[in-house]
Structure 1
Amino acid sequence: MATPDAHLPRQVPVEGYGKGFFHFAGMASSGSILALPSGIHAWAPVRAADIDAAALAEVFRQAEAIQMLIIGTGLEPWPVPEALRWRLRDVGIGVDAMPTRAAASTYNVLLDEGRAVAAALLALP
């Protein structure tokens, strides 16, 4: 995914990840990703402190199709700021944050179960 607007136009599981990359649908992407109902999108944040409502604008645009957002926070846990948690709740989205490895696995399980899930995954440093 060479440009910020690049995306795979369908929702798929995350097949793998490593230092600075993700694999999905037989493809590789460098950097962080958003896994949304509209597909897999390149995502600008590189650390948890970069995650705010503006960084999740595309999540808010697709809120009607999302019940749960899983945030992958890199290597360390990160508490979702209360203001962001409430803003997501206001549009009907539950949120959970955890290190990226656990987040990718949780996203895959929920997606496989047919749940209306999305993931915002920071690439591992």
Structure 2
Amino acid sequence: MAKGIEMREAHFPGRAPIDAYGNGGFRFADMSHRGSVLMLPSGIYGWDVAEGDPLTIEKFRRVLDEAQAIEVLLVGTGREIRPLPADLKATLRAANISSDPMNTGAAVRTYNVMLAESRAVAAALIAV
């Protein structure tokens, strides 16, 4: 019996700088991904968040699962800077994660610098 195409969750098992962003996605590690991404110590994951979506604690569950390896979380909120909801900020703080919202372009640039410095950084980047 023939099997159809198997769709798996987007995941790159490693850390990589972002080479480019825009047109609704990101380029890294000689690959491209359409949509938003989570850049975590365990790898790079597709993230089901679009510009303007509510930033709920549940959307950051994977980040919280890796809290022991993250000191700073950069949140690229799209074209415009959006503050993080108080409950999300408090939950991240309780997990010893410093969160910093900024527009996605600034978050990409900051992430690349911090990654090059081998800092314990993660990023939640909304595609623009």
TM (norm. structure 2) is 0.91
Corresponding residue of 1:45: 49
Give the one of 95, 98, 105 matched to 2:102.
Answer: 98
CA contact (8 A) 1:48 1:122 kept: no
Corresponding residue of 1:112: 116
Give, in whole Å, the separation in 1 of the partners of 2:53 and 2:80: 12
CA contact (8 A) 2:57 2:87 kept: no
Quickly say closer, same or farther: Cα 1:4–1:56, change in 2 above 3 A. Answer: farther
CA drift at 1:4: 6.5
Quickly say closer, same or farther: Cα 1:47–1:12, change in 2 above 3 A. Answer: same
CA drift at 1:3: 5.2
Q: Which amino acid aligns with 1:56?
A: F
Quickly say closer, same or farther: Cα 1:44–1:4, change in 2 above 3 A. Answer: farther
Gaps of 5+ in 1: none
Quickly say closer, same or farther: Cα 1:109–1:51, change in 2 above 3 A. Answer: same
| 1:58-102 superposed Cα distances (whole Å, 9 cap, x missing partner) | 000000000000000110110111111110010110000000000
| 1:13-65 superposed Cα distances (whole Å, 9 cap, x missing partner) | 11101120100001000000000001110000002433211001100000000
TM (norm. structure 1) is 0.93
Corresponding residue of 2:80: 76
Give, in whole Å, the separation in 1 of the partners of 2:78 and 2:7: 21
Between the aligned residues of both structures, percent identity stands at 44
Q: Which amino acid aligns with 1:96?
A: D
Corresponding residue of 2:16: 12
Query: Is 1:66 aligned with 2:64?
Result: no
CA contact (8 A) 1:60 1:91 kept: yes
Quickly say closer, same or farther: Cα 1:7–1:88, change in 2 above 3 A. Answer: same
How many residues are aligned here? 123
Quickly say closer, same or farther: Cα 1:52–1:27, change in 2 above 3 A. Answer: same
